[in-house]
Structure 1
Amino acid sequence: MAESTEIFTTQEPVEYTEAAHGGDAAHAEPTLLGLQPFQWVSVAMLLLILVAILRLKAHKSITAGLDSRIAAIREELDEAKRLRAEAETLRDEYAAKIANAESDAEAMLDNARAEAESILERAEEDSKELVERRKRMAQDKISAAEREAVAEVRAKAAAAAAAASRSLIGEKLDADADRKLADDMIAGI
């Protein structure tokens, strides 16, 4: 920065002249009542604002507009607070519903497990009973088959014995032996 200051201080000021137009070397600004144009613009703006405030009562319309805007913002804030309270209530309600649903689901799951276990136990008992019943039926069939076989063997043995005794009787018993046997029996009576 020190260098830039030196540049400006060492240069010679340049004068612009209007020698070609026949004017003075110095340029003069127009003034009215000793005020420059930018000062007149400031005074005019100040007068306009004063007239607007005092005469046209702009401050009342400005404050009324600001008050209505403040009221609208307050209403929006109250509405936002109310909506937030409703949202928190709904959130709490749904959180409670979710907790209830989770507990209900847990209870249903426990109930389903208990039912599955009881069904499994019942199925095991039923299968044991079925096996026992079928075992008894098989034993009954085996016993019946044994009885039939024994009866069949006895019948065949009786038939064989009867056939053997007929043939023996037929061989050993003739008409004389048969008469003697009949007389002995009659005598025994």
Structure 2
Amino acid sequence: MFAEPEFWVAVAFFIMLGVFAYFGLHKTVLTTLDHRSSRIKSELDDARRLKEEAAKLLAEYQSRGASAEREAQDIIANAKAEAERIAAEAKTKMEDFVARRTKTAEGKIAMAEAQAVADVRAAAADAAVAAASTILSQSVKGDVANDLLSKGIAEVRQKLN
């Protein structure tokens, strides 16, 4: 039994335990383990608290994201409504513009027609005067021609003034 190495290992182990007990190392080891246990517990509490804070932040950001999505939907709906309103206004303005331009063009056409009629009448009157002048100059001579010419000139002066 004294020759076996396991025996001496056991004796050395018990002597070492006695030395540890004499110097109070078991209290130091237990105190260290208690401190480590309390540190681990505080770290777990901090981790739990941080997890709860992260969950709150996640919920807050999700609600913000949902509200931002709703706001974006509202902005899109308002933009579509505004675009439709602007398109309707543009259509109304274009119809008014076309109507005014048509009325102006019709007025110009009427004026051109009136001017053309007046020009035709003036040309016809000029032709009639020229024909009458030719006929009268060939058929009427003498004092009668001079008298008719002076009356015609006087009549033209009255109408022009």
TM-score by length of 2: 0.80
1:146 aligns with 2:113: yes
Q: CA RMSD in A?
A: 2.3
2:13 maps to which residue?
45
Q: Runs of 5+ in structure 2 lacking a partner?
A: 149-161
Deviation at 1:177, TM superposition (A): 5.0
Listed as ranges, the matches of 1:173-188 within 5 Å are 173-175=140-142
Q: How does 1:157-176 map to 2 (within 5 A)?
A: 157-175=124-142
In structure 1, how many angstroms separate the alpha carbons of the residues matched to 2:10 and 2:145?
Answer: 177
Q: Does 1:113 align with 2:80?
A: yes
> 1:50-92 CA distances to partner (integer Å, 9 max, x unpaired)?
3312x11122111111111111111111211121122112111
Give 1:61's match in structure 2, choosing from 28, 39, 44: 28
Name 2:37's counterpart in structure 1.
70
Rounded Cα–Cα distance in structure 2 between residues aligned with 1:37 and 1:145: 138
Which one-letter code corresponds to 2:39 in the other structure? A
Q: Which residue of 2 aligns with 1:130?
A: 97
Aligned length: 148
Aligned residue type for 1:80: A
- Measured in 2, the distance between the counterparts of 1:114 and 1:180 equals 84
Structure with greater helix share of residues: 2
For residue 98 of structure 1, the aligned residue among 60, 65, 78 is: 65
Per-residue CA distance 1:131-185 (angstroms, 9 max, x = gap):
112211221121111011011011111112222232333344444656999xxxx
Which structure has more relative contact order (CA 8 Å, sep 6+)? It is 2
- Kindly report which structure 2 residues correspond to 1:79-98, keeping only aligned pairs within 5 A, or say none: 79-98=46-65
Rounded Cα–Cα distance in structure 2 between residues aligned with 1:36 and 1:179: 179
Q: What is the deviation of 1:119?
A: 1.5
Cα distance per residue 1:7-45 (max 9 Å; x no partner) = xxxxxxxxxxxxxxxxxxxxxxxx54xx74422321331
Normalised to the residue count of structure 1, the TM-score between the two structures is 0.69
Q: Which runs of 5+ in 1 are unaligned?
A: 1-30, 182-189
